[in-house]
Amino acid sequence: MKIKGVKLKNGMTGVRNILFYLMTIGSICLLTGCSRSDVPIPPGPPTPPDPDPPAVAVPIRLKTQLLSRAAIENFDSTAINVAKGSGTLQFDEIWEAVATDSEITFVPERYYPADSSEVYLTGYYPKGTVKDGFVEYHLDGETDIITTKAQSGSLVNPFDRQDSLFSFSHQLSLLKITVRLAENRPETYYLKFAGLEGSSREAWLELSSGELLFGTEAPKLVLYEAETETSMEISTESTFNSSLLVQPRTELTVDIVLTRDNNPEHDLSYTGLPVHFEGSGSEGNVAYNIDIVIGSPDLPVGPDTPDVPDPPTPPDIPDDPDEPDIPIPPVIPPVIPPASNPSITITATVTSWEEVSGGNIDFRPSNE
């Protein structure tokens, strides 16, 4: 029994030892964990920079000029339109812009694509109705049409760093018209009507090519028409001046009605007088002086009537007088009266393109 008691005592002692060891290990683990939580964790490596940072928007800037054959003029806060596309044949947006001096700014601001793809632009003035790639215009004789050729630009090749400017050119011909009397003409006429035919009423700007296309209908442009019984005097001291913008490269004719005394029965009518231009006709972006002269310079004018000579003094009567010579009367040249319809000549000469004042221009249907 004693031996068994000893065994039992030793068994209890072993269990206690095991429990003590487990509790000691648990305490050590708890103490170790708490002490480690108080130690700061060192920072990790820095975050590398984004290899593709967001692109900064770059606004589109255009340098421009207005060209004509004889002069370069600047814009003055002129509202224009710029067609934008992804190619020369694909213009799908219309941007509004303002041209001031030599620069064009967009309203609102426009930007280059962030992927450096190319932007194609072409400008035009005035604004018009855009339909199926064409800008429609009604020609009134007073409004010019100016356009640019299509150009491309991108972030890597911006417009304002290119050698070529965004240049505008006139698409119509400017006619500066004068109706006057030929030099050394003594008579006076009165202008009742002046008109021009041959210029189209409608035009379409093709954005893809920059070409201005014209309609077939060519009504009469009225340069002047007397509204009262008093017409405009045409004499050595008075001339008629006007100007208008017309379709280039077309046949133009002039109609004129003159009178000497404002009596309709005495009207002198001229229709279909051709305007002759050098080469194949008038050109766009060119200005011309159209000189309409009444009375050809070489038309003879009646000379003054010569003075009647004094009669000869009779000679003294001699003893045997000879028969006196019979004086021969002077030859008086005949007076050539002016023709009832004086000739009219029309000449066209190239001149500078500049702003000119003109009268009211009205279209009249061609069947009138």
Tokens for 266, please give them: 């005495």
Q: What is the structure's pLDDT at 317?
A: 62
Assigned CATH class of 173-299+338-364:
mainly beta
Burial of 46 from C-beta contacts in 10 A (0-12 / 13-18 / 19+):
exposed
Tokens for 168, please give them: 């505008």
Overall fold of domain 62-170: Immunoglobulin-like (2.60.40)
Q: What is the structure's pLDDT at 180?
A: 94
Q: Which helix (H) or strand (E) holds 194?
A: strand 189-197
Contacts (Cβ under 8 Å, ≥6 apart) of 57: 111, 112, 114
Contacts (Cβ under 8 Å, ≥6 apart) of 71: 352, 353, 354
Percent helix, strand and coil across the chain, each to the nearest 5: 10, 40, 50
3-class DSSP state of 161: helix
Q: What is the structure's pLDDT at 175?
A: 94
β-strand pairing of 189-197 with 75-87: unpaired
**Omega of the bond prior to 108 within 30 degrees of 0, cis?**
yes
Tokens for 203, please give them: 């035009």
Triad 136, 89, 60: Cα angle to 5°: 90
Nearest-angstrom CA–CA distance, 32 and 35 = 5
Contacts (Cβ under 8 Å, ≥6 apart) of 103: 61, 62, 63, 64
β-strand pairing of 173-181 with 287-294: parallel
Q: What is the structure's pLDDT at 338?
A: 46
173 C-beta neighbours (distance < 10 Å), count: 25
- The backbone torsions φ and ψ at residue 265, rounded to the nearest 5 degrees and listed phi first, read -70, -15
Nearest-angstrom CA–CA distance, 293 and 276 = 14
Domain 62-170 and domain 173-299+338-364, same fold? Reply is: yes
Contacts (Cβ under 8 Å, ≥6 apart) of 34: none
Tokens for 124, please give them: 């035009």
Triad 346, 351, 355: Cα angle to 5°: 110
Q: Which helix (H) or strand (E) holds 130?
A: strand 129-131
**Omega of the bond prior to 309 within 30 degrees of 0, cis?**
no
Q: What is the structure's pLDDT at 300?
A: 44
Q: What is the structure's pLDDT at 20?
A: 63
Q: Which helix (H) or strand (E) holds 34?
A: helix 2-37
Listing DSSP states for 53-113 in one string gives: PPPPP-B--EEEEEE-SS-EE-EEEEEEEEEEEEETTEEEEEEEEEEEETEEEESS--B--
Split the chain (368 residues) into runs of 10 and give each run's mean pLDDT.
46 61 61 52 62 69 70 72 87 92 90 92 92 92 90 91 85 94 89 94 93 92 84 90 92 93 86 86 88 71 56 65 60 46 89 59 39
Q: Which helix (H) or strand (E) holds 291?
A: strand 287-294
Nearest Cα neighbor of 300 from 337, 346, 333 is 337
Nearest-angstrom CA–CA distance, 210 and 35 = 82
Contacts (Cβ under 8 Å, ≥6 apart) of 211: 205
Domain residue limits, the chain: 62-170, 173-299+338-364
Indicate the pTM of the whole model.
Answer: 0.68
